[in-house]
Amino acid sequence: MENIFQDIKESQARFFATGITQEIRFRKNSLKLLKGAMLLHEKEILDALYTDLGKGPDEAYMSEFGLTLEAIDWQLRHLDHNAAPHYHYTPLHEFPAISKTINIPYGNVLIMAPWNYPFLLAMVPLVEAIAAGNTAFVKTGHAAAATSQAIDNLVRSIFDPEYVCVIQGGHEQISALLELKFDYIFFTGGKKLGQIVYDAASKQMTPVTLELGGKSPAVVDESANLALAARRIVFGKFLNAGQTCVAPDYVVVHESVKEPFLAALINEIRKQYPNSEDIGKIINETRYEHLISLVNPAKVIYGGSASRPTLQIEPTVMDNVDWSDPIMQEEIFGPILPILTYSDFKPLMRKLAALPTPLAFYLFTRNRLHKQYVERIQPFGGGCINDTVIHLTSDNLPFGGMGASGMGHYHGKYGFHTFSHDKAIVEKGNLDLPMRYADRKPWMAKVLRMVLK
């Protein structure tokens, strides 16, 4: 049976073969068109994010819309440099020659976005794929139906499907897409679906980026500024109702400062979320029910109330949590914050390192040695010292996981290179040195040894 997306896939292959998408002017014009269309569709997009996730206009702009505009502007500013040949030192044994790398697009790419940041995590990879000169399929997060439709409307208003095509839908559409041979797959989502994508890509020998997740810890040591740590942890944890892949999943606080930290934490929740309805909503009833099942009422020291009709869960803090508790066995992905304690820094770091590698890691400290240990030794995708989540907002830093939290990275130049192949070129002139050939003179072998030692 013919694949439902085969015709569009073939039209994209034909369009890419024309070479138009590789022209710098075309790429810039496409990015400018996308930015202009975003500004025209801004209200529709922000309204859709409210419908799907209960995000108010300020949060939706800050965490999704505005960051996408920044990504477009970054690629426009740096496109000439990134797309130009880059020259490299030529080793003596290749003299005379010119060594360079040229970035070429992969071709037809598949971008698979999740539901938790349904606009940002669909559009930023698309921006970088366009900047690199590709055509693209964009599979939106089907649980965020309103935002998926807004993205479809946006893209259809400026691009033909032979260039960029948005695909909505669920498992049937995902299965059909994964049957096709793409030149690159960029996936953001959960580990289970990521494994399916990875398996399908391996059968086609298709390179992939997998942006997954995991249980990202926040460690508060005895030297930390507790009020500031509490403020920034509350921000990162409860943004988007905790449905953020780099949210602090849990806090491990030094036992000597646990009580003042908890007091500061609860005070911050009251300040940032004075009304429980101010927090966003859980994406659907299935996720809502699962999150409720993780809450142990006996360990709740703040919050715990929930509203099934609105799918909202009050910011909730659980104390005296043990590593073996159910809430510590999976990524929470909701507004529930477990608190654990530790007494010795290095044993804690070794314990955390033995767990599946997290996407993010946050350390609150004034201790230089603790900071250096985390930066140089502790395994994780990326993170912050004395803050949370903001590392993913910079187009000058790579964003991605390692191990269980994914492979590959993007943002800024890293995203451009993710969607490009770095082609190595050595350009030789007509001067032909005889040393490398089999009929070399005996003395030439000595020269070769001197050059290659």
pLDDT tens for each residue of 265-294: 999 999 999 987 779 999 999 999 999 999
Pick the more confident residue, 32 or 96: 32
pLDDT of residue 40: 98
pLDDT bin (cut points 50, 70, 90) of residue 445 is confident
- Average pLDDT on 170-199 reads 96
384 is catalytic: no
Over range 27-45, report the average pLDDT: 98
CATH of 6-212+405-425, one of 3.40.50.720, 3.40.605.10, 3.30.1540.20, 3.40.430.10: 3.40.605.10
**φ, ψ at 224 (rounded to 5°):** -70, 155
Q: Are 123 and 410 spatial neighbours (Cβ–Cβ below 8 Å)?
A: no
Strand partners, 167: 139
Strands 306-307 and 97-105: unpaired
Alpha carbon distance 256, 254 (integer Å): 5
Catalytic residue among 59, 64, 222, 245: 245
pLDDT exceeds cutoff 90 at 371: yes
Global pTM reads 0.95
CA distance 76 to 27: 9
Q: In the block, which residue shows the tokens 């993205």? A: 151
Distance, in Å, from the CA atom of 334 to the CA atom of 281, rounded to the nearest integer, reads 9
pLDDT at res. 1: 52
Q: pLDDT for 105-162, tens place per residue?
A: 999 999 999 999 999 999 999 999 999 999 999 999 999 999 999 999 999 999 999 9
Arithmetic mean of pLDDT over the chain: 96
Q: How confident is the model at residue 93 (pLDDT cuts 50, 70, 90)?
A: confident
pLDDT band (50, 70, 90) for residue 326: very high
DSSP helix/strand/coil, 44: helix
pLDDT at 57: 95
Q: What is the mean pLDDT of residues 212-241?
A: 98
CA atoms within 13 A on the CB side of 313: 30
Fold of 217-393: Aldehyde Dehydrogenase; Chain A, domain 2 (3.40.309)
Active site residue 211: yes
CA 135 to chain centre: 20
Kind of pairing, strands 164-167 and 360-364? unpaired
DSSP strand pairing (360-364 vs 300-302) = unpaired
Catalytic annotation, pick one of 211, 222, 268, 331: 211
| The two structure tokens encoding residue 49 | 């994010």
CB 345 within 8 A of CB 370: yes
Q: CA dist 294 to 152, 269, 277, 289, 339, Å?
A: 35, 20, 21, 9, 14
Report pLDDT for 438: 76
Residue 219: which pLDDT band, with cuts at 50, 70 and 90?
A: very high
Residue among 396, 428, 422 nearest 409 (CA):
396
Contact 38, 134 (CB under 8 A): no
Instruction: Please report which helix (H) or strand (E) contains residue 181, including its range.
Output: none
Residue carrying the six token digits 């508060």: 220
Residue indicated by tokens 């003395």:
443
- Of all residues in the chain, the percent with pLDDT exceeding 90 is 91
Domain chopping of the chain, boundaries? 6-212+405-425, 217-393
User: Helices in 377-439 by DSSP H: which ranges?
Assistant: 412-418
What's the CA gap between 241 and 159, in Å, rounded? 33
